[in-house]
Amino acid sequence: MTTLDCSKYFENLKKLNFSDSLLEKEKQSFQDCIDNLSKVKYSEFETKFDDLDDYESTNCDFFNYYRWIGGMEPIGGIKIKNIQFYNYQKAIVVLEYFNYYTEDNKYYFYGKNKVTLIKVDNQWKILAIDWK
């Protein structure tokens, strides 16, 4: 049968200081896909999953977008718009995404995120990432 191995992905999220609660929430977000894949023989995977609709219908289409920026297009960079601290244990950071076009020497901003951080054992961890 088929499954989804996310171990490298979660290792990277840990290295990037995602909080335990966000890691757990992220693991749960893949569960429908894993459950649906468990019903597919590995030898039949390539013939049953040959179109984006096949991935969407099984909740396995997470590769079709940039998960942490909430869009389908890559970004050129981010700009920190605001940081607000609460009790030295929590911070909210508002980010804007942009692309830079050298031909007209302009930045084009097109998206925002709100990132919530908490301090755990004197280290900042990402608690949540919300799209605006």
Residue boundaries of the structural domains of the chain:
7-64, 77-131
> Who has greater pLDDT, 46 or 15?
15
Max mean pLDDT range (8-17, 75-84, 93-102): 8-17
CA distances from 50 to 15, 43, 55, 56, 90 (A): 33, 13, 8, 11, 44
Question: Which DSSP category does 5 fall into?
Answer: -
DSSP-based helix, strand, coil % in the chain, nearest 5 = 30, 35, 30
% of the chain beyond a pLDDT of 70: 98
> Who has greater pLDDT, 66 or 109?
66
